[in-house]
Structure 1
Amino acid sequence: MPPLTRVDDLTPYDRNRVICVKVLFFWFENFGRPDQKLEMILADLEETKIEATITGGPFDHDNITGLREDTWYFLSNFLVLYLPELMSNTSNMFRIWFYRPTKMTSTYERSPSKCIEPERFSRIDPDRNSDCYTLNLDTVGFIVYIDRLIRIPYVSGQYERGRGCNCVYFVLKNHRGLRLRYCTIGDLANYFMRVWVNREYGHSYLRDPVFCVLRFWHVEEYKGKPCLMNRVGCSRFYLDPEFDELEEIKERVHSPPLMLGPLRIQDVPIWIIE
C-alpha cells in the first residue's frame, strides 16, 4: 500500500492518494433518481474534515450497504476536486469524488474521538462575523427552554414524512451564561421530540438540565431573527451523550449558578446575551 496522505495535503485532481479516515456521517440525496448521490463527512487522525460524494452508480453497491458511521476506512483511487459552486458542509475547500476505480476498505479503530469542535457562543454573531452564515458549527450546552411547534409552513425534503411535529424551538445555555436560539425542522424535529418525550425530559430538565450536543448546524433566520438551524442530511443532535472528549466541558457547564427556574419565552434573547 502507498504511504498514507493527510487530508490537509490533498490537492486538486489527485488520483493516486491513500487516506485513512473515519466516516462521521453519511446521508442520501435524491435517492432513487438518476441524479442520486450519497454524501459523507470524513475526518482523518488529525481531525481534519472533508466532504465526499458518491454519485449515480460508479461505486460498488456492497460497499455502500456495508457503510457505517464512526468507522475507519482506507480510501484510495479517488478524485480530489475544487467545486466552489457546491455547498460544503465543512470548511475544507476541496471535496473527494468517487469514481469507478475508487476503493473503500474498513480498518480497525484508530481513534475513539468524535472530532467534535464546539464553537464558542460569543463567536457565533452574524452582526460581527458574516462567515457564520456559511459555516456548519458544533455547539454544546444545557437546554433551558423548549417549545413545540406543529406544522409551520415548511416544504418537506424529498424523503421526509412531513407530518407530526415539524418544528421545535429551543434555547441552549453555556458555562458563561450565554444563550443561543435553535430551531430544528423536518424529520429531525420529529425525532428530537420523540427522544425528548420517551426519556421524559419535559418533567425534569429545569431541575436536572439536559446536556445537548449539536453537530453541523448553521446560522439561519427564524421569524426574522438569527438562530442555529439544522441542515437536512448532515446535522445531528445528542441528548445527554457519553462522549469522553466532552466530559470536561460538561462539568464546566453543569455548575450550580446555571441551575435556574423556569424560563419564560419573553425572557429568551433575540440572539446571545451575557
Structure 2
Amino acid sequence: MDSEGNSAMDFIFVDEEGTKMHATVNKTNYHHFRIALPEGEWREITRFQISNDNWNNPQFMVADHTYMIILRHETVVLPIQPLSDNHFFKFSSFERVISGRHDVNYPVDFIGVISYMGKLSPPVRNLEERRSLPFHLRSLSNTELYCIAYEDLAAQLYQAWKDNASEPLICVLSEWRVARSNREFIVVDGGGLSRFFFDPNIPEVEEMKQRILNQNMLR
C-alpha cells in the first residue's frame, strides 16, 4: 500500500553482478506487475523510468543504489534464462549492528543460529497494535541479536520453526531492518520485503554447520 492507502508494490531487483535497485509500481499497474514479476525468477525489463526519489525519500530506501526504477504501463517484461546462480545475500556482522555502525536507512541480511524463540503474540484487533514474535540469532562468536518479526511473517516464522527439527537450526534473514530500542540496536522485519530461510542450501550454511561441529568436537 502507498501512503494514501492505494494498492502499490515495491521490488528489489538484482542483476548478475549482485547490484540491487529499488523498483516501484503504482496502483494503476499494480496487478499486472504482481503477476509479471514473480519473486526469484529472471526477467528482462525495458522501457522503464529512472528516478532519484530513492534518495529524496529515506523512508522508502530498500536498496543503496543512487536511483530507483519506476515501472510504467509501457514497461516490457520478458522471461529469460538465469544469468547467475548466486543467492545475492550480503551478510552483515552482528558486532556491526550492536555497535551502531550499520546505516539504519538500509535493509540488511544476517545468518546465525536460532538460540531462542519467544512466544507468538495472539492476533490483535486494535489497528494500532501488531502481532509479534521475538527471537534471538547467535553468531559463531556467540554474539546474539535480538530480533522481532511482525504480523503474517511472525506467524510464518513461528510455524516453520515448530515444523523444523534440525539442531542447530541455522536461519537466514533477508532484507531486514536495524532499529533502535531502549538505547540498543535490534533487528526487525521490514514489511513485505523481508524474508527468512531455515537451513537454506547455500555454502555459508554448510560452512557454519561444519564450524559448529568442529567447535563441539573440541569441547
Query: Is the contact made by 2:120 and 2:158 (CA closer than 8 Å) also made in structure 1?
Result: no
Alignment of 1:238 onto 2:197: yes
User: What is residue 115 of structure 1 aligned with on the other side?
Assistant: 88
Deviation per residue, 1:61-86 (Å, 9 max, x gap):
3x532432111111111111011215
Q: Would the aligned equivalents of 2:146 and 2:187 in 1 still touch at CA under 8 Å?
A: yes
TM-score by length of 1: 0.69
Q: Which residue of 2 aligns with 1:64?
A: 34
Q: Does 1:185 align with 2:150?
A: yes
Amino acid at match of 1:40: F
**Contact 1:113/1:245, CA 8 A, preserved across alignment:** no
**Deviation at residue 99 of structure 1 after TM alignment:** 1.5
Q: Is the 8 A contact 1:142 1:253 kept in 2?
A: no
Shift of 1:58: 4.1
Check 1:128–1:36 CA distance in 2 against 1; reply closer, same or farther (3 A cut): closer
Aligned position for 2:76 = 103
Structure 2: segments with no counterpart, 5+ residues: none
Q: Relative to 1, partners in 2 of residues 1:59 and 1:211: Cα closer, same or farther, differing over 3 Å?
A: closer
Whether the 8 Å contact between 1:156 and 1:186 is mirrored in structure 2 is no
Distance 1:173 1:197, change over 3 A: same
Q: What is the alpha-carbon distance in structure 1 between the residues aligned to residue 30 and residue 150 of structure 2? A: 32
Whichever residue aligns with residue 49 of structure 1, its letter is K
DSSP-derived class of the 2:174 partner: strand
The CA distance in 2 between the partners of 1:80 and 1:139, in whole Å, is 30
**Alignment correspondent of 1:5:** none
Aligned length: 215
Number of the residue aligned with 1:256: 215
Alpha carbon RMSD of aligned pairs, Å?
Answer: 3.0
Question: Which has more helix, going by share of residues?
Answer: 2
- Please state whether the residue corresponding to 1:97 is helix, strand or coil: strand
Tell me the percent identity. 21
Give 1:113-262 correspondences, 5 Å limit. Answer: 113-125=86-98, 127-129=99-101, 131-151=102-122, 166-199=131-164, 201=165, 208-222=167-181, 225-244=184-203, 246-253=205-212, 255-257=214-216
Q: Displacement of 1:152 after TM fit?
A: 8.8
Which 5+ residue runs of structure 1 have no aligned equivalent? Answer: 1-28, 261-274
CA apart distance, 1:193: 1.1
Please say which structure displays the higher CA radius of gyration. Answer: 1
Corresponding position: 1:77 with 2:47: yes
Q: Which amino acid aligns with 2:45?
A: L
Q: Partner amino acid for 2:64?
A: S
Distance 1:254 1:147, change over 3 A: farther
SS at structure 1 position matched to 2:16: coil
User: Could you tell me which residue of structure 2 aligns to residue 55 of structure 1?
Assistant: 26
Seen in structure 2, the aligned counterparts of structure 1 residues 60 and 73 have a Cα distance that, compared at 3 Å, is same
